Amino acid sequence: MYYLGIDLGGTNIAAGVVNEQYQIIGRSKTKTHVPCSEEEMCSQLAFAALSALEDANINIDEIVWIGIGSPGSIDRSKGLITFSSNLHFHQFPLERLLSEKLCKKVIIENDAKAAAYGEFLAGALKNANNALAITLGTGVGCGIIINKQIYRGSNASSGEMGHMVIEHNGRPCKCGRKGCWEQYASANGLKQTTREMIENEPEHAAHLLELIDHDLSKISGRTPFQAMRNGDMLGTKICNTYIEMLGCGLVNAVNIFQPDIVCLGGGVCNEGEILLEPLRKLIAEERYPVEETHPFTLCKAQLGNDAGIIGAALLGLDDKLS
């Protein structure tokens, strides 16, 4: 038995055929061309799906369903992308249109939820009862697992942790609020903090400026961590500030959900224990006390970009358990 999962992003469409052992046995990847019509998007998704099937040497009749993880708000009951700013769609009946095109059952879900489900089935969250998968990318994405199932909330828009305010009247956010967590904890937030601190402390910024060839547009999430590893004072200060802001939101999330485990994904998590260990210490100091018989784990996500494909491919299993 095989399943097909598609991770639909604003930049790329990645598809994979997944077997019963939750392994990807065939892949495809193509650029996402947006804005486009609904029909054009279905054609792009169909091409990605059929290319992955060809790579796996599998016929479409051999897969049970096609699952899609998409950015934006998803109405599971109607099979709609109700709104996605990245894809420029509003009330897009993706399930129906793609199902008609490929003559196969289609299931859609928010991409962060799909990635969390992938980590739950085959990655860092495996065997957890209650867990969070938080992705630190352009923004902050979060998928929630409660009692071994994806938690969607009453309007299917749960998990918008990135828009939890951690600094009153702080940095403006695209959502309309100020001081949202993703303005500080995302990769973009880290780059903005780095830029601001370089500009505010030019007398201490010589090493950081060397790393970016004196071009502030070249700042990446790796820049301050590289400087810190080199013993740079300002780089260390930037990283500590970032960890404090990231940790603030993590403590809030842990206090709200009391999960067994939280896994962090995204490029900045490649820093490994230099990031995770101080976060664990901060959470241990600031989380709301619970009995020691209920331990908490913070770790790096295991599946990387494959989490979205695997989770999307297996969305029907979550439906069966509902």
Backbone conformation region of residue 61, classed left if phi is above 0, alpha if psi is from -120 to 50, else beta: alpha
Mean pLDDT (whole number) for 296-309: 95
Q: What is the pLDDT of residues 134-177, one digit of tens each?
A: 999 888 989 999 999 999 888 777 888 999 999 999 999 988 99
User: Is the per-residue pLDDT at 321 higher than 80?
Assistant: no
Say what the pLDDT of residue 100 is: 98
Please provide residue 224's backbone torsions phi and psi, each rounded to the nearest 5 degrees: -65, -35
Secondary structure class of 271 (helix, strand, coil): helix
Q: What is the DSSP string of 100-139?
A: HHHTS-EEEEEHHHHHHHHHHHHSTTTT-SSEEEEEESSS
Separation CA 145–CA 83 (nearest Å): 23
Query: Domains along the chain?
Result: 2-119+306-321 (3.30.420.40), 128-300 (3.30.420.40)
Say what the pLDDT of residue 85 is: 79
Q: What is the pLDDT of residues 174-224, one digit of tens each?
A: 889 999 999 999 999 999 999 999 999 999 999 999 999 999 999 999 999
User: Is the per-residue pLDDT at 319 higher than 80?
Assistant: no
